[in-house]
Amino acid sequence: MMELYIANKNYSSWSMRPWLVLTAFELPFREVLLPFPKERGTGHFKQDVLAINPNGKVPVLVHDGLMVWDSLAICEYLAEQFPERQLWPAGRAQRARARALAAEMHSGFQALRNHCGMNIRADLAEVGQTLWAEQPDLRDDVARVCQIWSERPDPGGFLCGDFSIADAFYAPVVWRLKSYALPVNEDSQYYMQTMLQHPAMQAWEQAAKQEQDWVNYLEPYQSEPSSS
Ligand SMILES: N[C@@H](CCC(=O)N[C@@H](CS)C(=O)NCC(=O)O)C(=O)O
């Protein structure tokens, strides 16, 4: 049985990608969730991850005596292991596009990442409004995302036809744009709805919203609600 090591579903955008792929394509796996510590550098998260992956990060896939780290490498490994499931699109043109889109997400969109950390349960619309007004690099990133989302082959569908690894790579952006209520064009709103209705996205969302952990260093815009 494959094992996928991830961190908190509310916060861990990299963990989300291979988890969605495994879930959406109904590949059997066991999830191992290693929660982030409340304060950076405390707790045993790092030590637990280092015990399986020397680079100290999740996600990590363990399968058949192999340890595969990095979300894109994990998805490529899965695509190779289960070719009949077509984790990448079957057609050459859409497959090439899907790979390019996943690579672009994997290596870019720094402003979106830096300013708008994924926080599924949060309503950060006010923060989003300020960021939108003050951060031109963020507006550029969102414009590029909207361009990509508007170029779908079927306006009612996924990025490259059926749901594929490319969509899993843009899934955390759907959450970032939603939590920070950043303005997007109509095509992109439609894509976001399509994604939010996908059963794998809904399963992740539900689990994320049930999490109680509050990770201070991933909450730069709000303080922990008091329990009393
Ligand atoms: N490029 C890597 C990034 C992995 C990554 O940064 N993971 C974060 C969790 S979302 C992590 O493990 N952070 C812990 C740390 O840096 O100590 C991937 O695609 O898997």
Pocket test for ligand 1, best of 6, 9, 13, 14 (most atoms within 8 A of CB): 14
- Ligand 1 centroid–CA 186 distance in Å is 32
Nearest protein Cα to ligand 1, atom 13? 57
Handedness of CA 82, 86, 88, 91 (dihedral sign): positive
The whole-number pLDDT of residue 225 equals 87
Predicted confidence (pLDDT) per residue in 182-224, tens digit: 999 999 999 999 999 999 999 999 999 999 999 999 999 999 9
Please provide the DSSP assignment of 153-201 as one string: SSTTSBTTBSS-HHHHHHHHHHHHHHHTT----HHHHHHHHHHHTSHHH
Nearest protein Cα to ligand 1, atom 20? 70
- Ligand 1 centroid–CA 14 distance in Å is 6
Q: List the domain boundaries for the chain.
A: 2-85+210-218, 92-207
Pocket test for ligand 1, best of 58, 118, 204 (most atoms within 8 A of CB): 58
Could you give the 3-state DSSP secondary structure of residue 169? helix
Query: Class of the 2-85+210-218 domain?
Result: alpha beta
Asked whether the beta carbons of 118 and 169 are under 8 A apart, the reply is no
Angstrom distance (rounded) from CA 173 to CA 118: 8
The whole-number pLDDT of residue 228 equals 63
- Match 């260093």 to its residue by tokens: 217
- Ligand 1 centroid–CA 59 distance in Å is 7
For ligand 1, say whether the CB of 59 is within 6 Å of any of its atoms. Answer: yes
- Ligand 1 centroid–CA 188 distance in Å is 27
The whole-number pLDDT of residue 227 equals 72
**Which segments of the chain have a pLDDT < 50?**
none
- Ligand 1 centroid–CA 104 distance in Å is 17
Could you give the 3-state DSSP secondary structure of residue 199? helix
For ligand 1, say whether the CB of 117 is within 6 Å of any of its atoms. Answer: no
Ligand 1 atom closest to the CA of 12, numbered from 1? 10
Angstrom distance (rounded) from CA 178 to CA 180: 6
Angstrom distance (rounded) from CA 215 to CA 193: 28
Ligand 1 atom closest to the CA of 70, numbered from 1? 20
For ligand 1, say whether the CB of 71 is within 6 Å of any of its atoms. Answer: yes
Asked whether the beta carbons of 3 and 28 are under 8 A apart, the reply is no
Query: Class of the 92-207 domain?
Result: mainly alpha
- Match 């992956």 to its residue by tokens: 53
